[in-house]
Amino acid sequence: MKIVISHEAMQWFKEEMEAKAGEYIRFYARYGGSSQLHDGFSLGVTKEQPMELSVELVEEDIHFYIEDRDIWYFDGHDLHVTVDPKQKELTYSYVK
């Protein structure tokens, strides 16, 4: 599995989350909501240091990652992160 971040999403992280070089951004399974993969769970995103890093993408020295404990959520899919141009919010797609 891998993480793919679009150019627009990278700009979103820099502007909205004030992500800077050397920082870590975690994608995690959170209880509540729903997704294409699981009812009752949705994808969350936060800035925090990794504890048990499983998957990592480094772009412009910003580390995007998923912890071992959250890998089940992706069910073998790659995570693609883009931005909805109208809503100006992150969108996630899961690709086998």
pLDDT in tens, 59-71: 999 999 999 999 9
pLDDT in tens, 6-29: 999 999 999 999 999 999 999 998
Nearest CA to 93 out of 43, 23, 22 is that of: 43
pLDDT in tens, 80-95: 999 999 999 999 999 9
Domain residues for the domain of 79 are 3-95
- State the CATH number of the domain containing residue 65: 2.60.300.12
pTM value is 0.90
- Dig out the tokens for 20 from the structure: 């800077």
Q: How many CA atoms lie within 13 A of 19 on its CB side?
A: 24
User: In terms of DSSP H, where are the helices of the chain?
Assistant: 7-16
In the chain, the number of structural domains is: 1
CA 47 centroid distance within chain? 11
